Structures are given as structure tokens and as C-alpha cells.
Amino acid sequence: MSSPPHERATSPEDAVPWLDDDERDAWMALAGLMVRLPAALDRQLQTESNLSHFEYQVLAGLSDAPDRTLRMSALATLTEGQLPRLSQVAARLEKRGWLTRQPDPADGRYTLATLTDEGMAYLVAAAPGHVRTVRRLVFDSLTTTQVRQLRDIGRSLGRAIADDDA
């Protein structure tokens, strides 16, 4: 992605801010991580708990909510999922008895999702294996300083994406 010598811009409007060698190396490392890490997390959760990573995120998001209940739209935002995908996952989790959905009594245009006791128990059973995998794949290779840097980088990139979405 760095600028090939033969690809010179003809005007400032045509200028491409090519990545320098360090930026290209960082981008390639991040791009590879964005593909491999979700696949590894999915694999572990599927193997040990018969859950996708997205299903785990839905259950975990509800477990942290007051009364283990959120509007589906808020849950979609929290899990970075589209509402149609979340609705399909919620239907599967509902069939398993792990969550319920009902109209929001405060505003019937919204649907509330609630984590059931059975869903909470399943999440509690799945969490240790997931946390061990996250620790092994992410945190065990980093120093305390690098963990803080990773947090800060993640927040900065998240803000840039949110600003771009706005």
C-alpha cells in the first residue's frame, strides 16, 4: 500500500496518502488479526460450548444489563450486530430457553430481550473456557504497558469508526 514510484499523483486532489512501510506492516498485522482472532474465538466457543462468538456476546451483554434485560436495538448496538441478524440469533437462543423476548411496556414499538436463569447458567459455564482462550490468544503475549496501549488504540480506532458512521 505504500506508493509505487510509477504511481505519482498528477494533482493534489488525486494524491493518495499511501501508507509508509511501518504503517503498511501495522495494517497487515491488524488486518490478519481481525480475521484470525474472531475465527479462533468462534472455534473455541463452538467446540466447548456449542455457541458462536456472537451468541456469547448476546448472552454476555444481557448478563451485564439491569435485570438482564435490554431493548433489542440497544443489544444490537452493544454487540455490533445488525438487528436482523440479532433477531435470528435471539430466536435460536429463545428456543434453547436462554432468553425471552416481549414488547417493551414503556413503548410497544420496541422489543425487550431478557436473559433467563437457564441462559445465565449456560453463560457462566461457558465463560471460563472463553476467558482462558482470550487470555492465551491476546493478553499472555503482552506486557502491562502493551495491554494499556491496546486499550487506548482500541478506543481511538473505535472513536474514528463511530465518527465515520455519524
Single-letter code of the amino acid located at 139: F
Instruction: Report how far apart the first and last C-alpha atoms of the chain are (Å, whole number).
Output: 27
List phi, psi (to 5°) of 47.
-65, -45
Give the number of other CB atoms < 10 A from CB of residue 142: 12
What band does 7 get if pLDDT is binned at 50, 70 and 90?
A: low
Beta-carbon contacts of 139 under 8 Å, excluding residues fewer than 6 positions away, are 147
In the CATH hierarchy, which fold is given to the domain comprising 37-127?
Arc Repressor Mutant, subunit A (1.10.10)
Q: For residue 107, what is the DSSP state?
A: -
| pLDDT above 70 for 2 | no
Smallest Cα–Cα separation from 55: which of 46, 66, 65?
Answer: 46
* DSSP per-residue codes, 56-70: HHHHHHHHHSGGGEE
pLDDT 10s digits, 88-106: 999 999 999 999 999 999 9
Helix (H, G, I), strand (E, B) or coil at 18: coil
Q: Burial-class residue 61 by CB neighbours within 10 Å (0-12, 13-18, 19+).
A: buried
Beta-bridge mates of residue 101: 113
The separation between CA 121 and the C-alpha centre of its own chain, rounded to angstroms, equals: 22
pLDDT of residue 6: 52
* Residue 10 in this model has a pLDDT that exceeds 60: no
Domain regions of the chain by residue span: 37-127
